[in-house]
Amino acid sequence: MPFYLIFERLNSFVVWGVTTLIVGVVVLIILRLLAEAANLNFFGWTYVTIRRLTDPIIVPVRAALRGFRVDPKYAPLIAILIVILLGWLAVNLTATLLVTIAGVIGSIQMRSFPRLIGHLLYGLLAIYSLMIFARIVFSWMMIGYSNRVMRFLINATEPLLAPLRRVIPPLGMFDISAFIAFILIWLFQSAIAGTLLRG
């Protein structure tokens, strides 16, 4: 079986797994909302189980909404949106890694060094832009530097974002350094696709 078919099946499996996980989380959050609306026994096994499964998602979102002075009753809806966003990030990260690996293997088989470098650079830039996006999503959730994942994202993305922030200061409360970083990454990817990966 050709390697690209293996990667295609692996990607399909990841998409299926992430989609199943998203649907499961959304169903649990909806069940929690229905249980609260129906005034179920808060100490009953069903409600306690649903709360234990959904609290790790809803509690941080509720705290973040309070930080933004938004009514915490919207936490379940925002949690659903964040779960979908994180699922999208996971699917895109997997697809990017698999496409990059497939491109590298194909370049080695073709004995094309420029294409090999092109696929590596293009893939790394795509992963880097996903890391910036993940950092933005985590910051909306008020996840601080003490979190290991957030610390990694900040340490990895700050070398690009800090100089951009110095050149283009925030517009009021809006930091547009990430937006400029996305444009720069897109320009570099276009240049790589038009030169090293052409033909």
Angle formed by the axes of helices 45-67 and 3-37, nearest 10°:
100
Q: Give the predicted TM-score (pTM) of the model.
A: 0.81
Query: 20 is written with which tokens?
Result: 């199943």
Q: What is the pLDDT along the chain (199 residues), one digit of tens a residue?
A: 577 788 889 999 999 999 999 999 999 999 998 888 887 777 778 888 888 999 988 988 888 788 778 888 889 999 999 899 989 999 999 999 999 999 999 899 999 999 999 999 999 999 999 999 999 888 877 777 888 988 999 999 999 999 998 888 877 777 889 999 999 999 999 999 999 998 6
Who's near 153: CB < 8 A, 6+ residues apart?
Answer: 131, 134, 135, 138
DSSP state of 69: T
Beta-bridged to residue 140, according to DSSP, are: none
Is the Cβ–Cβ distance between 168 and 177 less than 8 Å? yes
Integer Cα distance of 123 and 102 in angstroms: 11
CA atoms within 13 A on the CB side of 40: 17
Tell me how far the alpha carbon of residue 194 is from its chain's centroid: 27
Q: Which of 133, 134, 93, 101 has its CA nearest to residue 119?
A: 101
